[in-house]
Amino acid sequence: MDIQITEQIIIMLAALVLLTAFAMLVQRKIYGLISLFMWQGIFLALTTAFVGYIAHRYHLYISAVLTLLLKVILLPYILRMLIIKLKISREVESVVNVTSTMLIGIALVIFSYQLTAPIRQNSAFVAQSIIAIALATVMIGLLMMITRRNAVTQIIGFLAMENGLFFAAISATYGMPLVVELGVAIDILIAAFVFGIFSLHINTTFDSLDVDKMAQLKEDY
């Protein structure tokens, strides 16, 4: 394949990753959120594979397959199970102030571009704007955790943040060594399990998954 076309494909995939991040920011239905997360995973895996192709780093293919297995199949499966256990599959979360959340998201994207400008100039990587998109994805994930109240949604926000970090790693340095990546992947898996168990406990204790309810734990002054 032509280098230039591959480059264009990578840029487009990066744009799609950012798009899914924005979509997740305002998606209210929990199933929709999980499928958006899945799509993000797919785009991520594809980008990884293409970057591997263009940079001739073939261990990135393994990363891509790993991403596909973990983020497209396994994690969504765990999350779905969790939702079924918690009986919240039909819940629609109220998202406050969609407009301003989106505007903050846009501001974050601009901020990331501005921030990464010096790095992008020095980077030899073909598609330099990916670094900015990766940083923006991380921040949007964090923003999602801030704006949401449901514990499960917060888990997804955290996972989206991790997607952004992974993306940054690929784009800035052609991926971390395979050992590190494997470690991170397992970490994520375990984190998902721990989160799941915690959510179950939160649900039994407070009879709700709203993290605002946890403010009750605080003593009144």
Q: By the criterion CB under 8 A, which residues form the site for other proteins?
A: 106, 110-111, 113-115, 117-118, 139, 142-143, 145-149, 154, 211-212, 214-218, 221
Which of 70/136 has CB closer to other proteins? 136
Place of tokens 């001739």: 56
**Encoded amino acid at 140, one letter:** I
| Residue 5 Cβ vs other proteins, minimum distance, rounded to whole Å | 23
| Residue 198 Cβ vs other proteins, minimum distance, rounded to whole Å | 12
Which of 176/211 has CB closer to other proteins? 211
Q: How far apart are the first and last CA of the chain?
A: 67
* CB crowding 91-113: b at 16 or more within 10 Å, else e: bebebeeeeebeebbeebbeebb
| Residue 114 Cβ vs other proteins, minimum distance, rounded to whole Å | 6
| Residue 146 Cβ vs other proteins, minimum distance, rounded to whole Å | 5
Which of 84/212 has CB closer to other proteins? 212
Distance, in Å, from the CA atom of 216 to the CA atom of 8, rounded to the nearest integer, reads: 51
Q: What is the 3-state secondary structure (H, E, C) of 94-110?
A: CCCCHHHHHHHHHHHHH
Which of 111/174 has CB closer to other proteins? 111
